[in-house]
Amino acid sequence: MVSPVPGVTLSARGAARARSGHPWIFRVDVRSAAPGLPSGAEVRLADARGNFIARAFWAERSPIAVRILSRRDEPLDDAFLRERIERSVQRRRALFARADAYRAVHGEADLLPGYFADVYGDVVAVQHLAEWAEARREALARMVAEVCGARAVVARDDGSSRDFEVLPRRTAVLLGQAPVVATYHEGELELTVDLLEDHKTGGYLDQRENHLRAGELSRGEALDAFCYHGGFALQLARRSHHVLAIDQDASAVARTRENAKRNSLGNVDVRAANAVEQLRALDKEGRRFDVIVLDPPAFAKRREGVEGALRVYKEINYRAVRLLAPGGLLVTCSCSGKVTPQIFGEVIEWAAQEAKRPLQILERRGASRDHPPLLGVPETDYLKCWFLLAP
């Protein structure tokens, strides 16, 4: 006999939020729950009158008590989860038929909130940012490996988002063997990544299409501040005469040099230095660049960090505008979700005014199409990448 699914009753506000389509229900909006629910337990959500709302997973410790997976009254079993993964991967393969690197599962946007999977060649890097996914990590690893045809699955659960969920930071090889170094392509360039040691899940796949677009528009002298593994710098180098790439992380600089050599790009000068200080120094020297890319880390991961982040965003954009040659291209980015597009636009407008240089908006871009935002869930629409011209 199958045991009934435990029930969770939501407050009026929680019920309205769930019905609006948002997959997160905070603990303050839980009116009552079955006693002793374990971490990751499947639950059935209802309003105060007992009307069914959704099937979801329960979190013991996270401020987000419930994550919704289905508005239908259906079991959230392994068959359900595998089908969700399969459908997500099929969508990516339809978008990028020849790609060997892409985000296979994008959490909330693919209706698997808190679970992320990135494909790099024949390896998958995953993140579990919710208790339900953490509780099922081995089963999910087997599913995603089978669906993607991967030889190994690596868990990159070492980011600050795990702190919010009250989950320990760690990395692990869930399937296959270490070390796990993968080779993949962005356009015609071949790149390598260490999936256990490098940032995030290894690379910044959310910027892949922006890397390629910047490369199409590149020319002359180019500058890539915060270059990481050279995603922008190497694409710029295919059309520019010379590229100066800067990053404070010594291992990232080494990887950029390795990737430049791998692709026979001898016109990339990689410098291990603080990018903000270097922008100031280049401005003082009176340097000018035809293309400048600013792709800094997330300066504001929490609301309380926004004010400090804006000071840095203003500084680097002001310096970049001053460093642009006449007719130059500025590609400026922010991956801070707390910095909205409106706030980001205000930062750029301030920088242009302070530098006394007009800027034309060429393109407002976001994350690559394999990182789609989910309508009604603003937290998923985090990346801003603006292309601007200095006439």
DSSP 110: G
What is the H or E stretch that residue 102 is in?
strand 101-106
DSSP string, 7-60: EEEEPHHHHHHHHHT--EEEGGGEEEE-TTPPTT-EEEEE-TT--EEEEEEE-S
Pairing of strands 30-33, 7-10: antiparallel
- Per the CB < 8 A criterion, the answer to whether 201 and 125 are in contact is yes
Q: Which residues pair with 44 in a beta bridge?
A: 7, 55
Identified catalytic residue from 148, 227, 333, 335: 335
Alpha-carbon distance of 226 to 183, in angstroms, equals: 22
Determine contact, residues 195/101, Cβ cutoff 8 Å.
no
Percent helix, strand, coil in the chain, to 5, is 35, 30, 35
Q: Which among 116, 121, 122 is positioned nearest to 104, based on CA atoms?
A: 116
CA distance 72 to 377: 20
What's the start-to-end Cα distance of the chain, in Å?
73
**Token pair listed for 350:** 């301030």
d(CA 121, CA 142): 17
**Active site includes 335?**
yes
* 114: region left, alpha or beta (phi > 0 left; psi from -120 to 50 alpha): left
Catalytic residue ranges: 335
